[in-house]
Amino acid sequence: MPAPAVPSAPDAPTAATAGDTSGELAREQEFLENARAQLARMREQARSLDALAGDRVSAEYLEAALARRLAQLADNPEVPLFFGRIDLDGTGHEPAEVFHIGRRHVSDPQGNPLVVDWRAPVSTPFYRATRTEPMGVAVRRRYGFQRGALTGFEDEPLTAPGPGAESSAILEAEIERPRTGPMRDIVATIQPEQDVIVRSGIDRTVVVQGAPGTGKTAVGLHRAAYLLYSHRERVSRAGMTVVGPNASFLRYIRDVLPALGEVDATQTTVEQIVAVHGRLRGTEPADVARLKGDGRMAEVLRRAVWSHLVEPSEALVLPRGARRWRVPAHEARECVAQVVGREPRFDAGRDHLRHALAHRILVQIEESGEALDERAWDALARTRPVRDYTAAVWPKVTPTALLHRLLVDPAFLAANADGVLTATEQELLRPLRPSRTPGTARWTLADLVLLDEVADLLARGASVAHVVVDEAQDLSPMMLRALGRRARTGSLTVLGDLAQATTPWGVSSWTDALTHLGKPDGHVEQLTAGFRVPGDVIEYAARLLPSIAPDLAPPVAVRRARGELVLTTEPLVDLVRTALAREGSVGLIVPDAGTDAARAALAAAGLAFAVVGEASDDDGAVEFDARLDLVPASLAKGLEFDHVVLDDPEGVVRGEPDRVTGLRRLYVCLTRAVTSLAVRHRDDLPAELRRP
């Protein structure tokens, strides 16, 4: 077990080694102050550097690099500079090496490390060492902090005989520490099974199937930070993208990577990614969106694009000087077949055909005895007759025109969907009020994803080094294809929970998801140890699993604190006031249809709050920065609050297209609490929750 506790600031969890603990604590505090002073020196040194370069572009690059370095060296006095320490085994007469583990590297003027980055290889034993496999560590130390000040420490000997520590008071207190504002990092509490995922290689695509409270979102973000640290040049050059389900979720996680010293990742949503192809203007029934998101649509679109090729029926004639050079129709058809056989992107194929036709003419000219230089081939390909002939055989296609025609022209759709979609499915795709032109089309999100597929068929898009995808269980196969293309030459971290799938078009298995992402060899890791959601709450929510995900292992709460679960019919405002009387953040989760009524009730009661999904209310309260957040059920996914009041669980279920989806939405809402959950029901609880 860890060594006994020592006195500390109120409410600060502490334990320390036996003996002169007060003297050791003072020495550690002095070390912390010195480390902060050295970090300030490093920051001032970086600020004093000049971006001297030979040209404007180089100067801008250096200025950006210096700005990034200053951001990485920022120090938040409310956050501990280090959170752990490992004392390695000494050998012979050599003193044991000691490493303080923190969020970023800090060194003295001679370059000696005072704090080592948690991502450095030397830090790995802090997260993974055990008594069975101490990894060269004699003692692991964890620190207790309050408002950035050191309040105590806890030592865990790893080489001493006897049983190891069963629990860590400091670790538990950090996990349970009340939160306000957006999501924070978990760098001080990463568990061994999480660390294995975090430190996975950059060329490996990993799916993390994580039950509520297992930290899958944090694991994904920390893996992003690890890859940015371990493969700085590659990732900085190619880029990294973090994809979340909505803008509110991105605001919730916005501070995690900067807190870890990383500012180079782009954070976005699927909607923002595909918005480059058109403006989202419409919605559609769930069955239509499900069909448009079906992976079979990729084949329909591929056929539709390539159906534009026209078989050459006439010869290409190129006047040049006093002569006319010809490429017979049969040779032109051979050229087309050769280009198609290379399977290029459609637009690239047009250029390949121009040069293939020009090459036929070039050979004829050279065989006539005329000497041509190396530039002649490209010049011939750029002549008007060759360009016009190519355009007639290989016409230009635009994504919006093609998709519009596919949706409004039944004959065109039938020709390209034959054997792929049934006649009933083809009819379902036809809009009730077809637009007259692509410019007037009211594109839905599913349409924009299809446009993205067409755009890729026409021209290959850019690929980044790594993509992190959260709440991936809610993405359609076509959405997954769109994200997979963004990591065509890179890898992905895919985060989700099949039990929390709340869209009609979501995937049913991670094997299928990896196939749609183009990474069939990806690896699936399952996290079931719940560190955030207390036992009473997660066990109550798990009553829904037989109905929503019978094949998944139920989550297991590993915290000793059971939390607090209350089922009640008390007035809503009274429950919110009770939650606000406690320390920490409060989330009031209501059915989407009940958002306005809840807003009015809170306002009438004079309670300050923000509404998730809105940048601010009339009083300027910003989501996640307010003490109380009003959360529509559809936006609760991925969020956590110390205390949750859930109103009308049956209303949450009824708000979805079918009962299974509604129960999955309810499962999400029930698992947002870190400390307490009050479930307010009006009539009766869903039957699935009344199971023993």
| C-alpha to C-alpha distances, 427 to 290, 338, 454, nearest whole angstrom | 14, 36, 21
Run of H or E including 240: strand 240-244
What is the pLDDT averaged over residues 649-661? 94
pLDDT in tens, 432-447: 889 999 999 999 999 9
**What is the predicted pLDDT for the residue at 231?**
95
**What is the predicted pLDDT for the residue at 146?**
83
Q: What is the pTM of this model?
A: 0.89
The identity of residue 85, as a single letter, is R
Span of 26-30, 64-68, 128-132 with lowest mean pLDDT: 64-68
Nearest to 292 by CA among 413, 445, 75: 445
Share of the chain above pLDDT 70, in %: 92
Cα separation, 177 vs 164, whole angstroms: 25
Nearest to 466 by CA among 516, 515, 525, 517: 517
Structure tokens at 460: 């290959």
Confidence grade of residue 12 (pLDDT, cut at 50, 70, 90): very low
**What is the predicted pLDDT for the residue at 96?**
80
| Edge-to-edge strand list for the sheet holding 98-102 | 106-107, 113-117, 98-102, 82-88, 137-146, 149-157
Structure tokens at 252: 């919730």
Q: Does residue 63 have a pLDDT over 80?
A: no
Cα separation, 478 vs 187, whole angstroms: 34
**What is the predicted pLDDT for the residue at 556?**
82
Cα separation, 100 vs 687, whole angstroms: 52
Q: Does residue 409 have a pLDDT over 80?
A: yes
The residue among 417 and 557 whose pLDDT is bigger is 417
State whether residue 364 is helix, strand or coil. Answer: helix
Confidence grade of residue 6 (pLDDT, cut at 50, 70, 90): very low
**What is the predicted pLDDT for the residue at 4?**
34
Q: Does residue 430 have a pLDDT over 90?
A: yes
Q: Does residue 75 have a pLDDT over 80?
A: no
Inter-residue contact 301 to 450 (CB < 8 Å): yes
Inter-residue contact 612 to 623 (CB < 8 Å): yes
Of all residues in the chain, what percent are helix, strand and coil, respectively (each to 5)?
45, 15, 40
**What is the predicted pLDDT for the residue at 61?**
67
544-560 CB burial, b ≥16 within 10 A, e <16: bbebbbeebebbebbbe
The residue among 556 and 572 whose pLDDT is bigger is 572
**What is the predicted pLDDT for the residue at 300?**
98
Strands (DSSP E) contained in 400-465 are: none
| C-alpha to C-alpha distances, 271 to 9, 64, 446, 448, nearest whole angstrom | 47, 28, 9, 8
Cα separation, 126 vs 84, whole angstroms: 8
Helices (H), ranges, 487-594: 510-517, 535-541, 545-548, 572-580
What is the pLDDT averaged over residues 365-371? 87
> 361-370, long-range: CB within 8 Å, 24+ apart, which pairs?
361/316, 361/318, 361/325, 361/327, 361/386, 364/325, 365/320, 365/325
Inter-residue contact 49 to 73 (CB < 8 Å): no
Span of 105-119, 168-182, 577-591, 628-642 with lowest mean pLDDT: 168-182
Q: Which residues have CB under 8 Å from 157's CB, separation 6+?
A: 138, 139
Share of the chain above pLDDT 90, in %: 72
Write out 85-118 in H/E/C secondary structure: EEEECCCCCCCCCEEEEECCCEECCCCCEEEEEC
Within 10 A of 323 (CB to CB), how many other CB atoms are there? 12
**What is the predicted pLDDT for the residue at 369?**
85
Q: Does residue 323 have a pLDDT over 70?
A: yes
What is the pLDDT averaged over residues 40-69? 73
The identity of residue 266, as a single letter, is T
Cα separation, 537 vs 269, whole angstroms: 30
Maximum average pLDDT range among 1-5, 159-163, 374-378: 374-378
Q: Could you identify the residue written with the tokens 């989330």?
A: 587
| C-alpha to C-alpha distances, 75 to 110, 112, 152, 252, nearest whole angstrom | 21, 19, 21, 21
Nearest to 7 by CA among 172, 148, 145, 15: 15
What is the pLDDT averaged over residues 259-277? 91
Run of H or E including 257: helix 256-259
Within 10 A of 22 (CB to CB), how many other CB atoms are there? 11
Confidence grade of residue 58 (pLDDT, cut at 50, 70, 90): low
**What is the predicted pLDDT for the residue at 19?**
41
**What is the predicted pLDDT for the residue at 15?**
43
What is the pLDDT averaged over residues 288-307? 98
Half-sphere exposure of 498 (CA within 13 A, CB side): 23
Inter-residue contact 184 to 259 (CB < 8 Å): yes
Average pLDDT across the chain, whole number: 90
**What is the predicted pLDDT for the residue at 176?**
75
Span of 18-27, 300-309, 417-426 with lowest mean pLDDT: 18-27
Inter-residue contact 476 to 298 (CB < 8 Å): no
**What is the predicted pLDDT for the residue at 542?**
92
Inter-residue contact 529 to 556 (CB < 8 Å): yes
**What is the predicted pLDDT for the residue at 93?**
60
For residue 15, what is the DSSP state?
A: B
pLDDT in tens, 570-628: 999 999 999 999 999 999 999 999 999 999 999 999 999 999 998 654 555 678 888 99
**What is the predicted pLDDT for the residue at 157?**
93
What is the pLDDT averaged over residues 33-37? 93
Q: Which residues have CB under 8 Å from 113's CB, separation 6+?
A: 99, 105, 106, 107
pLDDT in tens, 79-112: 889 999 999 987 656 678 999 999 889 999 999 9
Cα separation, 593 vs 532, whole angstroms: 28
Q: Output Rg (C-alpha) for the chain, integer angstroms.
A: 30
**What is the predicted pLDDT for the residue at 9?**
34
For residue 441, what is the DSSP state?
A: -
